[in-house]
Chain A
Amino acid sequence: MDSALYISHYSKIEKGLISVDGNVIFHAGEAQFSDFIKQAFKYQQLDYPKFYKMDNLSKLAFLSAEVLLRDEEDKEDIALVLANKSGSLDTDVKHQESIQDAANFYPSPAVFVYTLANICGGEISIRHGMKSEQVFFVSDAFDVVTISNYATYLLASQKAKKVLCGWVELFEENYKAVLYLVERAGTKLHTINNINQLVKN
């Protein structure tokens, strides 16, 4: 068996643009994130009301995975290796606002559940039925070496058939998502250089 690993597909969301494998599929102009992501979701014509309950980080991660995995079959064994800079800080701030004032104390379970970085990965797993290996890393910038080694381990150990890796960062109006699928078939090799080009450009 060929042991080489490839990046078979990738998606990006940033600055009001969504692209898959380098082709722009949606462009919203200069909307606020919450408007942009709602428009983009509607454009996908999905019947998935849970989307509206998600926090902004989960909406970003969900839609990035949605456009990437649209034509994938047999998704149960696709592992998920996600990372970002701000963890769940965007929603942490919202929960903090609800408890900041003892006289006006209104914490909500619907907000609190999103004060964990990995919840956005859980949303992707639920949507695609991915009963698979999952991890969430936090670092100031994408740690290409660690993520690449980790994905390679998951495939070499046969703990996953494919690995969905990427960066899903959101804090207030600053957001960027880059997801890529690593597997044993494709044309773009899974190398540090190729990952860097994808994630850092």
Chain B
Amino acid sequence: MFSPVYISDMNCVTPLGLDLQDNWIAILKEDTGIDVHTVGCFENIYTAKIKDLPTVRTDLTYLERMLYLTLEPMVRSKPLGAKTGFILSTTKGNIEFLSEGKSEEAQLHKLAFKMSSLFGFITRPIVVSHACVSGVLAVSVAKRLIQTGQFDEVFVLAGDKVSEFVLSGFNAFQAMSAKPCKPFDSGRDGVTLGEAAGAILVTKSPEHALVEIVGEGAINDANHISGPSRTGEGLYRSISSALNEAGIDASAIDFISAHGTATPYNDEMEAIAFDRLGMNDIPLNSLKGYYGHTLGASGLLELIISILSLRHNKLIPTKGFVSRGTSKDVNIITQKMDVPLTYILKTASGFGGSNAAAILKKVNG
């Protein structure tokens, strides 16, 4: 009914590297970006911060430099026309302006407009700001708008930085782990925050395609604004919707890149949703042990790394995981493995009862 949509280019800037290649090398070495840092009044806490972000331009904030370094190599030699869209995914953008009393400067639409002008997009920028599912949902939005004919291609750019603003909030929620996070582990006790930027090119052209986006969904729990659903209902429905669109059974999925924040309730909720779908045996990882929780960037960053997994037929272990810590059995990847991969599932869940799922199929591989 709708024409196929592909992902044909990608890049990321993270504590593990300033481009895709360096990130993949670090991941294969099982390095972590998590280290001890001081952020505002939080002294010596574990976060995944970029250590030496190049000062590419002096007219940009820290986050804007992250975003610039990520997308600039992808758009450098590309004509950006009337059918080229630009979507920015972020939760807090330039939130640090608030500490200087500059609320107008902290507006997300201003950040999007500034980045859009910098790169030379001529269409109106779109901001998706939907808590921790923003990154995955922004990919769905890009695909959907291409399928309605609004765009032929869309650059999706996602980014968030570690800030005292967010740290203080998660800390007030008692959701921060004292040690580097341990997704799905029996000893997990909260998140480690991180910062990153990621970008992909979503397009209707199969040329140079890495994957096809064969199905996706983003369905709300309608249960609680800060607590995950105890039945995983929204995530269950998001994945079901994506499978339905892809026209495949759950058993066709070769690998799941889960959200896995390492809070007790979130990981339990995800395990319940995967169990309800009969996905217990499908190899699954969370990349939070490498990058921390990068909020509005997390879904897109993890999707990018998972596409690398898919292209290299290599499963990446869940760093921080030792022993099962969920009531339902899920197949957590504990060591690198070479396995032929065709279909992967990326999921995310977040505050506001939000969930998102996307199924990608390898093409030209």
Contacts and interface: CB of A to CB of B under 8 A. Distances in A.
Contact of A126 (B106, B113, B219, B223): B223
B126 A134 contact: no
Given A100-B99, A116-B352, A135 B128 contact: yes
Given A143-B124, A150-B145, A152-B148, A107 B218 contact: no
Interface of A: 80, 85-87, 89, 92-93, 95-96, 98-100, 102, 105, 107-109, 112-113, 115-119, 121-123, 125-126, 128-140, 143, 145-146, 149-150, 152-154, 156-157, 159, 171
Contact of B148 (A117, A119, A143, A153): A153
4 closest A-B pairs by beta carbon, nearest first, are: A122-B352, A112-B169, A138-B127, A125-B222
Interface stretch (B129-137, B266-274, B276-284, B317-325): B129-137
Given A122-B353, A135-B130, A153-B144, A89 B222 contact: no
B245 interface: yes
Given A102-B41, A125-B222, A118 B129 contact: yes
A146 B218 CA distance: 17
Contacts of A132: 219-220, 222
B126 A92 contact: no
Contact of A119 (B127, B145, B172, B351): B351
Nearest to B223: A126
A160 to B, nearest CB: 10
Given A122-B351, A145-B150, A137 B126 contact: yes
17 contacts: A89-B106, A95-B168, A112-B168, A112-B170, A113-B225, A118-B130, A119-B352, A122-B354, A123-B225, A125-B353, A130-B220, A134-B219, A138-B112, A149-B144, A150-B148, A157-B2, A157-B144
A134 B352 CA distance: 10
Interface stretch (B6-14, B66-74, B184-192, B233-241): B233-241
Contacts of B225: 113, 119, 122-123, 126
Contact of A86 (B107, B112, B126): B107
Nearest to B91: A116
Contact of B353 (A92, A102, A126, A152): A126
Contacts, number: 171
Contacts of A129: 222
Q: Which of A119, A135, A171 has the most CB of B within 10 A?
A: A135
Contacts of A149: 144-145, 148-150
B335 to A, nearest CB: 36
Q: Which of A86, A130, A137, A156 has the most CB of B within 10 A?
A: A137
Given A118-B129, A138-B129, A153-B144, A99 B168 contact: yes
Contacts of A153: 144-145, 147-148
A133 B145 contact: no
B226 A113 contact: yes
B360 to A, nearest CB: 18
A108 B173 CA distance: 8
Given A134-B218, A135-B137, A146 B168 contact: no
Contact of B145 (A105, A140, A146): A146
Contact of B109 (A118, A121, A140): A140
A179 B128 CA distance: 19
B164 interface: yes
Given A107-B171, A109-B172, 9 more contacts: A89-B106, A89-B107, A96-B98, A98-B168, A107-B169, A115-B169, A121-B352, A130-B220, A153-B144
